[in-house]
Amino acid sequence: MMEAFLFIDFGSTYTKLTAVSAEEDVILATAKSYTTVETDVMDGYRKAYEDLVTRLDNGIEFTKKLACSSAAGGLKIVAIGLVPELTMEAAKRAALGAGARVTDVFSFKMNKSEVKKIRESRADMILLAGGTNGGNTDVILHNARMLRDGDIKVPIVVAGNKSCNDEIIDIFEGHMNYHITENVMPSLNNINVEPARETIRKIFMENIVKARGMSHVKEFISGILMPTPAAVLKAAEVLSEGTRDEDGIGDLAVIDIGGATTDVHTICEGAPSKPSVILRGLEEPVAKRTVEGDLGMRYSALSLYEAAGKRYLRRHQLKNLSDIDVGKEFDYRSRHTDFVPTKEEDIAFDEVMAKICVDISMKRHAGTVTQVYSPLGMMYSQEGKDLMELPYLVGTGGVIVNSKNPKDILKAGLFHEEDLESLKPRHPKYLLDEKYVLSALGLLAMVDEEKALRMLKKYIVEC
């Protein structure tokens, strides 16, 4: 009996299964089926599993079954902080790094209309921060009372001024589902997001499985259920940084285009690549993720159309396609999320959409540089990461993986002369998640980093 691992990714559009040999660094088979979130996600899983079994030899036993999910829009979090540029930004980074989609952010003392907005939202969780340790206490305590009095039902992760923790417990106890963790900003400009990220992931596994049928998933997996973006980020970290016994490939960015969002993950310091540059803003984390909820190939097609405007449509040569009603095409894809293009003109349209997703998401993720005058003369001020000398750009997501021109799609993320302040990459090498297994190998890395690294080096190929 051959032993194998089964990795399941309940995506927003497709449920993807990957079977990996337990003994060898080999992918035995993959299969996918449309994610049946409207009925029961297990329906799509069973269809994909039946397909997977037909591709495998008889006598295979799955000793581990690990899963990640972005079905039903993935994990949605509201982030609350004190100052927009400081603790609120730190809270947002913690949520994004945990694999969440931040649906709203609030700063300073909240009012009743903001609490009502949270209550009526479809957020799965709230991250409550505010104040450095020993600093401001008024704001976070006010916001805690507002959340309690606002009849908020979702779990709340408290990651603010530790001096307030006892009082917050008194406010929440018996009323709220809350979890206390370490401050996301213990001192000024000092970011500490890992404890909050881990708390969010644990709550996700225990409680936040609201897509239809997801409650049954925990019954057959082997203990790991995490947001898909968190699994991809884990894979990116291992591929970049390596393990104790083997080096990774170095700094990189991963662009993941999905049906609902486009995620960008960078593993690099992003320090200035040129002299005479001063840094401003919060220190950037080495492992950074941004998620663009308005840039997607299906669920977010209409918001992508709005974000693109004529500028990006023209930049990526939509005018060279056949004479079509552009708005109608975007609208069709938003209403038919299971649409798979087969005609050349439909494939070409999808690839233009993908280029726009890559272009805008990389611009939002990368840092910016502006000219400033100083006593020493003209200098430059950098905010965010400098990606200009980034050596690798990795593409994943269905539209890139299935494209005949993945390199052309990824090139849309490069520096463009129309955006002179952007610090987007200039001349990276292009890598492809050829077998669409980044999320699966991220799950594998949670239990065996060495094996995951070897397989990442094998299956992430140059394009």
| pLDDT tens digits along 323-372 | 778 889 999 999 998 899 999 989 999 999 999 999 999 999 999 998 88
The whole-angstrom distance between residue 284's C-alpha and the CA centroid of its chain comes to 16
Hey, CA dihedral for 109, 113, 119, 120, is it positive or negative?
negative
The two tokens of residue 187 are 């001192």
Cβ–Cβ under 8 Å, residues 71 and 261:
no
Q: What is the pLDDT of residue 93?
A: 82
Per-residue model confidence (pLDDT) at position 216: 66
pLDDT band at 429 (very low <50, low <70, confident <90, very high): very high
Q: Which of 321-330, 412-421, 447-456 has the lowest mean pLDDT?
A: 321-330
In this predicted model, which residue has the larger pLDDT, 407 or 2?
407
Q: Is the pLDDT of residue 374 over 80?
A: no
Report CA-CA distances (Å) from 290 to 88, 105, 262, 265, 287: 15, 14, 8, 7, 10
Residue keyed to tokens 């699994």: 231
- Please report, for residues 32, 59, 78, 419, the alpha-carbon distance to residue 281 in angstroms, rounded to integers and kept in the order given: 42, 56, 22, 21
Give the HSE-up count for residue 80: Cα atoms under 13 Å, Cβ half-sphere.
27
pLDDT at 92 over 90: no
Token readout for 23 is 């003994």
Q: Convert the pLDDT of each residue in 299-328 to its tens digit.
A: 889 999 998 888 888 888 765 555 778 889
Q: Taking 70 as the threshold, does the pLDDT of residue 199 lie above it?
A: yes
Alpha helices per DSSP H over 98-184: 112-120, 138-149, 165-172
Range among 48-62, 196-210, 388-402 rated most confident: 388-402
Does the pLDDT of residue 443 top 90, yes or no?
A: yes
Inform me whether the pLDDT recorded for 71 exceeds 70: no
Does 449 score more than 60 pLDDT? yes
- Amino acid in the structure at residue 306: E
pLDDT score of 72 more than 60: no
Determine the Cα–Cα distance for residues 93 and 200; give it in Å rounded to an integer.
Answer: 12
- Nearest 5°: phi and psi at 226? -140, 160
- Rounded Cα gap, residues 69 and 162, in angstroms: 32
Kindly tell me the sign of the dihedral angle through the C-alpha atoms of 77, 91, 197, 168: negative
Question: Can you read off the two tokens belonging to residue 186?
Answer: 């213990």
C-alpha span between 255 and 262 (Å, rounded): 7
Q: Among the listed ranges 63-72, 172-181, 386-395, which one has the minimum average pLDDT value?
A: 63-72
292 is written with which tokens? 């663009």
Report the C-alpha gap between 239 and 453 in whole angstroms. Answer: 6
C-alpha 256/C-alpha 438 separation (Å) is 10
User: Contact 302/335 with Cβ under 8 angstroms?
Assistant: no
Taking the C-alpha atoms of residue 452 and residue 463, their distance in angstroms, rounded to an integer, is 21
Residue 374 three-state SS: strand
Tell me, what amino acid is at 457?
Answer: K
Residues in the chain: 463
- Taking residues 252-274, what's their average pLDDT? 92
List Cβ neighbours of 120 (8 Å cut-off, separation of 6 or more): none
Mean pLDDT value across the chain? 88
* Nearest-angstrom CA–CA distance, 288 and 265: 6
Q: Rounded distance, CA 229 to CA 290, Å?
A: 10
The rounded distance, in Å, linking the Cα atoms of 82 and 2 is 55
The pLDDT score that the predictor gives to residue 218 is: 64
Name residue 53's amino acid.
V
C-beta separation of 133 from 187 below 8 A:
yes
DSSP 180-191: E---S-SBTTB-
> What percentage of residues in the chain have a pLDDT greater than 90?
53
Q: Which two structure tokens, joined as six digits, stand for 263?
A: 């995620």
pLDDT higher than 70, residue 424: yes
Q: Is the pLDDT at 73 greater than 70, yes or no?
A: no
Whole-Å CA distances, 249 to 53, 97, 160, 453: 34, 21, 36, 10
